[in-house]
Amino acid sequence: MDRSKIFEQALSDWMKGKGPESDVVISTRIRLARNVRNHPFPMLATNKQSKDVLDQVVKVLHNDELKTVSGFDLFILDQLSELQKRVLVEKHLISPNLANESRNGAVMINDNESVSIMVNEEDHLRIQCLCPGFQIREAWDLANQIDDIFESQVDYAFEEKHGFLTSCPTNVGTGIRASVMMHLPALVLTQQMNRILQAINQVGLAVRGLYGEGSEAIGNMFQVSNQITLGQSEEEIIDNLHGVAKQIIEHERAARQKLLGESKMRVADRVNRSYGILSHASIMDSKEAAQRLSDVRLGVDLGLLHNVSPHVLNELMVMTQPGFLQQYAGSILSADDRDIRRAELIRDKITSS
C-alpha cells in the first residue's frame, strides 16, 4: 500500500465505483464493536494494558487468512501529525474520538480504504466496512468475515445472556451499528424531512449528521442507523434498516419528481445559481460549500446539469474539509485562508470536470 496516498487523495478507491441507488445513497457502513476479555475498556486501561491489546491485534494483521480478504497497513496514531489524523477523520476512516483521546490508538486500513479497523478507541476493536451506494448486506458479509478471523485469534469479551460486552451500554449485544449515508435534498426542500425523522425514530432508528453522533446534517446529508443492538439478531437489525432505507429512497425520489413537476424552473434556477457561485466565488466557507454542492448534486441527479461528474462532487465533499485543505496546501491555514483555498479548489474541480 502506498501510505501517502491515503493522505493525499480525497477519493478512496472504493468511492470510485457507482453503487446501487447511488442517486440517493452515498455509502453504506457496517461497524462492529468488540473488546478483549479480561482487559479494562480503553478509557480505564493503563498504558501497559492498552499496549497489550494493540499487540494482540497486530498479530492478526499478519494472519494469512486475513491477507486473503485484503492487504492491510497499520497506522499508529501517535506517529501521525494532527493534520493526518484530521484527514483520516474527514475520510471516515477513524472517529474523532480515536484521533483526539486514544492511548496506544491505531488503525488498520485495507488497500482500497473500504475497511478500517480501529484499535483502542471507545472499544478495543471497531471493525468498519464501507461500500458505495446501498449495499447493507454486502457490507455485513465483509464485516462478518473479518470479525470471524479476529474472533479466532482474539478472546472476545462475550456473555451468553448479554452478547458482546462494550464500553457503551447502547452497543451491548450484537455490537453492530449499520448505517446508510443519504442525500435527501428534495425531502428538505418540500419540508417533509421532519415528518420522516419522526417516523424513523419510532421504528428504532436514529438520524445523525455527516460524522455520526453529535454532528450536524450539513449539505442535506443524513446518516440513518440502528439504535437497538440488544434483543435482535444482526440479520433482524440489517433487515429493519434495509426496509426503512428503501422507503426513504422512494420518498426522496417522489419528492424530486414533485419538484420537477411543480417547481422545475425554481429548482433549475437554484441549481444553476449554486453552480455559478461555485464556479466563480473567491471565498467559500465549509457550510455554504456543502449546501451549494448539494444543490449541484441534485441538479446532476435530476438531469438539469450535464457537465459535472458525481465523482468530482464526492471528492469535493472530502477535499473541502479543513484538515484535507491544509494537508493539500502543505501548511496550517487560518480560517480566512481556508475559505479562499476552498473556493479556489472548487472552482478548479467544478470547471474542469
Q: What is the pLDDT of residues 257-294, one digit of tens each?
A: 999 999 999 999 999 999 999 999 999 999 999 999 99
Asked whether residue 126 is marked as a ligand-binding residue, the answer is yes
- Structure confidence at residue 302 (pLDDT): 94
Known binder of ligand: residue 211? yes
The answer to whether 179 is a known ligand-binding residue is: yes
Q: Does 28 carry a binding-site annotation? A: yes
Task: Give the model's confidence band at 2: pLDDT under 50 very low, under 70 low, under 90 confident, else very high.
Answer: low
Per residue in 330-353, pLDDT (tens digit) is: 888 999 999 999 999 999 989 876
Answer for the pair 108, 124: CB distance below 8 angstroms, yes or no. no
Q: What is the pLDDT of residues 33-84, one digit of tens each?
A: 999 999 999 999 999 999 999 999 999 988 889 988 889 999 999 999 999 9
- Is residue 212 a known part of a binding site? yes
Q: Is 31 annotated as a binding residue?
A: yes
Annotated binding residue 66: no
pLDDT-derived band at 175, boundaries 50, 70, 90:
very high
**208 labelled as ligand-binding?**
yes
Per residue in 127-152, pLDDT tens?
A: 999 999 999 999 999 999 999 999 99
Q: Is 180 annotated as a binding residue?
A: yes
The full set of domains in the chain, from first to last, is: 5-252 (3.30.590.10), 262-352 (no CATH)
Residue 209 marked ligand-binding: yes
Q: How many CB atoms lie within 10 A of CB 130?
A: 26
283 is known to lie in a ligand binding site = no
Determine if residue 292 is labeled as part of a ligand binding site. Answer: no
What does pTM read for this prediction? 0.90
What are the pLDDT digits (tens) for 211-264? 555 446 688 999 999 988 888 899 999 999 999 999 999 999 999 999 999 999
Question: According to the model, what pLDDT value does residue 347 have?
Answer: 94
**Per-residue buried b or exposed e for 242-263, using 16+ beta carbons within 10 Å of the residue's own CB:** bebbeebbebbeebbeebeeee
Q: Is 300 annotated as a binding residue?
A: no
Q: Is 286 annotated as a binding residue?
A: no
Name the percent of the chain lying above pLDDT 70. 97
Is 27 known as a binding-site position? Answer: yes
